[in-house]
Amino acid sequence: MIRIVVTGAAGFIGANLIKGLNARGLTNIIAVDDLTQGDKFRNLADLQIADYVDAGDFYNAFATDAYGEVEAVFHEGACSDTMESDGKYMMRNNYTTSVQLYRTCHQRGARLLYASSAATYGGANTFREEPAFEQPLNVYGYSKLLFDQRMRRECGTAFEQARTGRSAQVVGFRYFNVYGPREQHKGRMASVAFHQFNQFKAEGRVKLFGDYGGFAAGAQMRDFVFVDDVVAINLWFFDHPEISGIFNLGTGRAQPFNDVASSVVNAMRQINGQAALSIDDLTAEGLLEYIPFPEALRGKYQCYTQADLSALRGTGCTHEFADVKTGVTSYIEWLTQQA
């Protein structure tokens, strides 16, 4: 029976990956995480796994072959707080641990599918998987970039060898702005859609940043990607072990934060039997409010992101991504059911 490891298993993307694997009948899964934040157990409670291992114990034990033959490791475990300023902590969690895991996978012949980030691009205006466009704005983005660079250096040949079956697969996914079910534990790092759902429930309105970076209020644009699509792409590469490399994982379509806000509010209005409203009407009725851009984020904030999907499409992957309205509406329905 295929054995799979998922690190960050009780986290947002990790738990959704396990859900996707379970849907395929795959349950021989070793879930790795740190449940110091105990409420994260809820993300695993309805899933099927073979074992749970604390992250503090797993990596050294894995290096000693404690878990037998492993087909693939989905490495989602990391510190994802872009506001974290402790660089030593960030590099240990996101870089050093990942290097150790790669070495073990390489020695054991296990495939490694890992989470990188669009934060590697930082201040760039082009989002293509090339060093010329990698300009991280914070230590989180740098920690992800450094591991990508390490993989390019150590797996440069392996990326080519994997296509001919001579080396185990190594794939890095540069996640853009992911939103969807099972992110409730992320606090301030949860998606805009999650926070706006709770704002609207509590206050009857949602809030967005005002004008900044040459963009009008609420008009800053991101590539928002639904977590179901993230799972689908991970599993597509799982089905194609001959393909390795670093790939953007976004929709390839930038949309303004105003689209997220209107999708959240109108989805909640629809649930209550009310008609949808335009952005202008939402603002006029006080359902959407713009607040001053925070000083703490100036110079550290990406006002525009849009994944270049050329490399992804070049692999033959034709997956169609949900737009904001479709994905957010589905997510709000899920949040409402949970509440």
CA atoms of 339 and 336, how far apart (whole Å): 5
User: Would you write out the chain's pLDDT as a tens digit for each of its 339 residues?
Assistant: 899 999 999 999 999 999 999 999 999 999 999 999 999 999 999 999 999 999 999 999 999 989 999 999 999 999 888 878 889 999 999 999 999 999 999 999 999 999 999 999 998 899 999 999 999 989 999 999 999 999 999 887 656 555 555 579 999 999 999 999 999 999 989 999 999 999 999 999 999 999 999 999 999 999 999 999 999 999 999 999 999 999 999 999 999 999 999 999 999 999 999 999 999 999 999 999 999 999 988 887 889 999 999 999 999 999 999 999 999 999 999 999 997
pLDDT at residue 158, as a whole number = 53
Other C-beta atoms closer than 10 Å to the C-beta of 96 total 14
pLDDT at residue 84, as a whole number = 82
> Is-contact 114 173, C-beta < 8 A?
yes
Active site residues: 140, 186
Structure tokens at 232: 């689908």
Structure tokens at 26: 């795959």
DSSP for 85-117, written as a single string = --HHHHHIIIIIHHHHHHHHHHHHT-EEEEEEE
pLDDT at residue 339, as a whole number = 77
Rg (CA), the chain: 20
Burial of 212 per CB tally in 10 Å (0-12, 13-18, 19+): middle
